[in-house]
Amino acid sequence: MHIIFFFSDNVRSFWQYVLASSLGPCVSSGVTIEINGNIVGPSEPSEWRCLANRCDKWIHLKHVNGLTVRGNGTINGRGHKWWDDNDRMRPTSKRLSFKDNPRMHAYIESAESATVSNITKDAPAKSPNTDGIHVSGSRDVSFNQCRIGTGDDCISIVDVCSNLKISNIICGPGHGISIGSLGKHGSNDNVENIVVSDVVFIKSTNGAQIKTWQGGQGHARKIIFERILSQDSYNPIIIDQFYCDHEQCTKHDSAVQVSNITFRQILGTSQEDFAVKLDCSASVPNYN
């Protein structure tokens, strides 16, 4: 199945249709969606007409085997007014460009044996929760040749992810490439076999990062960050086992185990006095 969209203006009918439905199951020969032109969201949050007053997804595809999304178009969520409202239910969207989405630019969940490449994502440094690519429950996925600038993590990897390869990425602005956060509210989260290589961080808040909450369970292990260039990032290397984001956190004995972590061939400059920050749990310390 090959679906081609050519757009040059506001296409409300398209995004309403995609939000209201999904493709699947499509298993015979795969699905290719080609976008050439501009998909532009409404400028006012009240005009989005979300389902059941929920706007957590803008473009939503599921139960598709062999999915390819490509084209020369731009998906512009015009999220400035959503950011000002600090609304947690802002919609997430799915060489293709993404610009100013209200929340996460792409959420990849339960993917297997997939490749994401040649994608550009662009949002201001002060836009909250606008992760470039957020990955959960996925394995055997590669990300390469992407240029990501956002107000949150360029790429974030959370629970039940394994065998991911991330390479040839330019990140900035943003909060770096993050394993986590993991273990929030006592959850059992597991991430392993991740390779991040050939990445340039340009004035990002963080660079190569692992972050876990106190009180969590599980593990982050067999993770490699290599051939990394930092250009005036604030925290080029950081492991934080006391991560606490906008909440009142208390001390716990349990923690997510962080082990078998490798940083090698890390070059460049830092805007902070200390380029490496390791904030480790006393009860479940980092090792190897």
The rounded distance, in Å, linking the Cα atoms of 201 and 207 is 6
* Rounded distance between C-alpha atoms, residue 24 and residue 59, angstroms: 14
Residue among 133, 138, 256, 288 at smallest CA distance from 186: 256
What torsion, rounded to 10 degrees, do the Cα atoms 153, 69, 164, 230 define?
Answer: -40
The phi and psi torsions of 84 (rounded to 5 degrees) equal: -65, -35
As a whole number of Å, the CA-based R_g of the chain is 19
- Asked whether the beta carbons of 82 and 101 are under 8 A apart, the reply is no
Contact 115, 82 (CB under 8 A): no
Q: Which residues pair with 4 in a beta bridge?
A: 34
Alpha-carbon torsion (57, 60, 63, 69), positive or negative: negative
Six token digits for residue 233: 């990032």
- Rounded CA-CA distance 187/181 in Å is 11
- Residues labelled catalytic: 175
